[in-house]
Amino acid sequence: MSAKAISEQTGKEFLYKHICTSAAVQNRFRYASVTAETDWERLSREHPWLLTERLVIKPDQLIKRRGKLGLVGINLDLHGVREWFKAHVMRETTVGKAKGVLKNFLIEPFVPHPQEEEFYVCIYATREGDHVLFHHEGGVEVGDVDAKAQRLLVAVDEKLSEEQVTEKLLTHVPDEKKPVLASFIVGLFNLYEDLYFTYLEINPIVVTKDGVYVLDMAAKIDATADYICKAKWGDVEFPPPFGREAYPEEAYIADLDAKSGASLKLTLLNPRGRIWTMVAGGGASVVYSDTICDLGGVDELANYGEYSGAPSEQQTYDYAKTILSLMTREKHTQGKVLIIGGSIANFTNVAATFKGIVRAIKDYQGPLKEHEVTIFVRRGGPNYQEGLRVMGEVGKTTGIPIHVFGTETHMTAIVGMALGHRPIPNQPPMDAHTANFLLNASNSAVTPATTRTASFSDPKTSSEFNPAKKSKADLPAAQASAGCNGGMEGREKPVLLASPPSVHLPPPSQFCVFPVSPKPMTLFRKQTKAIVWGMQTRAVQGMMDFDYVCSRDEPSVAAMVYPFTGDHKQKFYWGHKEILVPVYKNMADAVKKHPEVDVLISFASLRSAFDSTMESMQYPQIHTIAIIAEGIPEAQTRKIIKMADQKGVSIIGPATVGGIKPGCFKIGNTGGMLDNILASKLYRPGSVAYVSRSGGMSNELNNIISRTTDGVFEGVAIGGDRYPGSTFMDHVLRYQDTPGVKMIIVLGEIGGTEEYKICQGIREGRITKPVVCWCIGTCATMFASEVQFGHAGACANQASETAVAKNQALRDAGAYVPKSFDELGEVIKTVYDDLVANGTIVPAQEVPPPTVPMDYSWARELGLIRKPASFMTSICDERGQELIYAGMPITEVFKEEMGLGGVLGLLWFQRRLPRYACQFIEMCLMVTADHGPAVSGAHNTIVCARAGKDLISSLTSGLLTIGDRFGGALDAAAKQFSKAFDSGMLPMEFVNKMKKDGKLIMGIGHRVKSINNPDMRVQILKDFVKQHFPSTQLLDYALDVEKITTSKKPNLILNVDGFIGVAFVDLLRMCGGFTRDEADEFVEIGALNGIFVLGRSMGFIGHYLDQKRLKQGLYRHPWDDISYVLPEHMSM
């Protein structure tokens, strides 16, 4: 969604802050916003002008023609304003078909003026540029400004001058006001461009001797430009259309959407409705809404929304649980239905997204059953069979009625089932498993009469580009449908033509205004080579698998460009063997080394797509560019289009999956995985060409066309933005002039006027091949308030842009238009059968494609193979939405304030240790953190640091000194004391045995500390252990040994290593979390030494940083601290 309406207050704030004009703009920032909760005393203090001036009050809720509706209070004092406010606030009001409650109001100073000082100005964006409308009579009675106003088109990338404004727009304005108005309009236009407005209307603008007053204002901005305009916009709130409340759940999903690379949309239409949808794909979501409304469900349709762009399991779960929560708040007497629908995905792993939905269904199974919810599922795409299987299983285990269908079922058939218009099949037929794509998937013996190794669009003769003559098949649609009953038993036949009033073409001003260069009619051939911008290895591998199954001689991807790495090679599969594809850091090197490339497929992000595309068009060899990114600001897209037209470059996108030419070339992820490529027969050309806005719906068209005709010749998804790089007409004319194309399908949608050019082309005889066309979004005219659908361009700004109007115009022009999307496949079959009957299409024998091995990773994803893992881990799992330590999510770790000791317990011991145990571990780390610079480990670290080594090297140098003599006594002490204690030796017997064996007792003895100068670290730990540990058997035993050793020599005390060692054994044995064998195993495998290593690492790092901070130079040991003992004969 790009163009979004902003409140009048926000629009005026932008204007007052950022307009640059010599005209004196009056009443800057003199407005006050009020609601039912407003503190009027405080408001008066913040805006003292409210107490001294006459005022105007009006609702600020995107309501048009407020004056005519009596919704403006004029020339009032503050008391009058408050009285007017009380009479209107929270009052239900009807505006057009929308009913809403007045909540937000704007107060401004009243500007007394005569009528002749009121003017009208409006700026709005179109594909070719920005239109400036001006009328010398503004105000409530301005009337039809489109017909009356002076109009000036400022072409893309051009500037507006005061001279142009004066000459073209101000012809009826008094001379004394012209300089002021000219300066203001130019300043307004510059503001409009700089802040990425798409619509800006002021009515009236008042010009007096004091300056310019902006009275009423309506505006839209391009929300996708947020990353450019954030500093100027600040945090913008986009109010909902009047008549629709802003729900917190909508804001929650919008926030999820903003934080995700996927697309997540939710609009609540009727929270009490019984029909709920959870649809994948921007185009598919509109089609499902259309079908629900067509079947009489408009009043019960609860929501509009979509999820797409491969959301993660967690994101899908959050989206699904939001919808399930909403639909289970109020019961409905007839129960409720949930339609989980979608077209055939191009790259989304259906099973992965369904996991999130299944989790949500399990969590809400109680409320779903209580509210008598029935769920209908239809989906296709990568791994969809597994997704449908899991969805069916959850229905059986929870007892919720869930009806599951795949690509064998028409996309919207489940709507008829859900609403009771179709029977629900008991055992729906299921297509083959995804794994079967290695086999020949063809069920048909006929294909177009051409070789499987050549493309129809390859140059043959010069006549290829001549317009075709009027086809015999292009009869009135009613005749064409005669005799067609395939697949329609018991149902009414589709009506292809009707004759309500026609819709007129848009004015010529909406067509192109800047010079253009001719573009190639054939975009892709069997030999087409491409550069892929971006490290999209999965998409590239998909392209190569497609190339291989189409029997291309060479891969279609010649190189990749990725600015974030140096030049290198990337490995891919070509059939059974591996090949290397060069990756370049910049486009210049790629095109220089691959002069055969003429196509660029850009996976650049929305932030870099503009610059990279503009750069790519500087290379004359590039003839076609596909821009995949969604969310490119419209102003940037229009600049791309202008340059592309000047350079003769064909643009597909933005916001597209791309396109496909069976047997020749495919863009990125178009057509999905190989199973869908084979099932839809996209490995060889058919006779039908299509153009669509939606990427997901283009794949659905592949499916429909393959089931009703001999297959696709070429298909392009031009993208869902308001200004796609190429238009429907661009591609329809290409198809018209391509001999291999016998019929054309156009899937249009609400918004824009491009479909009228097709009407014009049919009427004028430029388009003579049969055109089957359907515009989605017919439901929009049935909604009381405006709904922005999934695609940015799917919004009608005038009656002629509605889907209903365009469908009727196409009918009137002679195109084949079904009654609904439900019947699209039947109409396509009708027209195709006619073409076969009259000999235009001659079916040919099918030739099976070569097999392509399945990737190991995908085979494993499908559960078809298994192999032993190279590693095993049982302490941590980072694969999900949240990091997990030994089964505990990281959020729970912080929520329960487990601390470092608790984390260590999870990662080292796989246990939630008692609080005292966690505290003891942390105390051990603290007391072992450092013991001065003189000990061997710290000394090594210091020497290494002073030699200029890095942190890791210096730390490692110190750690390598840890062993039996330094620091490693924890494990050894624990083992020695445990063995003696467990064998029943008395402390004296233990001491005597160690002396007899000539072994040191580990953990006993200290160079400095003694019984008379105790180590306070040991004393602190001893006090804590005695107070908190349930039992200290081994510690007591060690202290008895200490009494014996210190009686012989005062410094033979139980040192800190020994104390920690024996106390830890007591902890492991007595805390209740371990068996005796587990406790002994942890001692045996060296866990206790880890305490010293971890603790002392803190000290070593401290010494490293200390030396660097003190800037100490290279260390050289002094001679006088070294005893040189050489053999006597050497010294002589």
Please identify every residue annotated as catalytic.
791
State the Cα–Cα distance between residues 906 and 769, nearest whole angstrom.
70
State the Cα–Cα distance between residues 1061 and 1069, nearest whole angstrom.
13
State the Cα–Cα distance between residues 632 and 613, nearest whole angstrom.
12
Single-letter amino acid, residue 467: P
State the Cα–Cα distance between residues 727 and 692, nearest whole angstrom.
10
Single-letter amino acid, residue 723: Y
Single-letter amino acid, residue 882: E
CA 706 vs CA 159, 446, 850, 931: distances in Å = 49, 11, 19, 77
Question: Tokens 């929650």, residue?
Answer: 252
State the Cα–Cα distance between residues 626 and 725, nearest whole angstrom.
9
Torsion of CA 866, 869, 875, 880, to 10 degrees: -50
CA 923 vs CA 379, 904, 1059: distances in Å = 57, 13, 12
Question: Tokens 């301005």, residue?
Answer: 142
Measured from the Cβ of residue 517, the count of other Cβ atoms closer than 10 Å reads: 10
Could you tell me how far CA 677 lies from the centroid of its own chain?
25
State the Cα–Cα distance between residues 982 and 318, nearest whole angstrom.
55
Could you tell me how far CA 758 lies from the centroid of its own chain?
33
SS3 1004: strand
Contacts of 838 (CB under 8 A, 6+ apart): 472, 473
User: Please, are residues 970 and 924 in contact by the beta-carbon 8 Å criterion?
Assistant: no
Could you tell me how far CA 754 lies from the centroid of its own chain?
28
State the Cα–Cα distance between residues 1021 and 1037, nearest whole angstrom.
16
Token couple for 1032: 């200290």
Could you tell me how far CA 841 lies from the centroid of its own chain?
42
Q: Nearest-CA neighbor of 232 among 201, 258, 197?
A: 197
Tell how many helices (H) and how many strands (E) occur in the chain.
39, 37
Residues pairing with 715 in the sheet: 660, 690
Q: Show the DSSP H helices in 399-466 as ranges.
A: 413-418
Contacts of 983 (CB under 8 A, 6+ apart): none
Measured from the Cβ of residue 366, the count of other Cβ atoms closer than 10 Å reads: 10
Pairing of β 884-885 and β 217-222:
unpaired
Contacts of 1 (CB under 8 A, 6+ apart): 223, 265, 788, 790, 792
- Asked if residue 204 has a cis previous peptide bond (ω within 30° of 0), the answer is yes
User: Please, are residues 591 and 619 in contact by the beta-carbon 8 Å criterion?
Assistant: yes
DSSP code of 789? -
User: Please, are residues 109 and 27 in contact by the beta-carbon 8 Å criterion?
Assistant: yes
Q: Nearest-CA neighbor of 807 among 841, 773, 845, 854?
A: 773
Contacts of 246 (CB under 8 A, 6+ apart): 239, 240
Contacts of 574 (CB under 8 A, 6+ apart): 544, 547, 548, 555
Could you tell me how far CA 1124 lies from the centroid of its own chain?
72
Measured from the Cβ of residue 439, the count of other Cβ atoms closer than 10 Å reads: 12
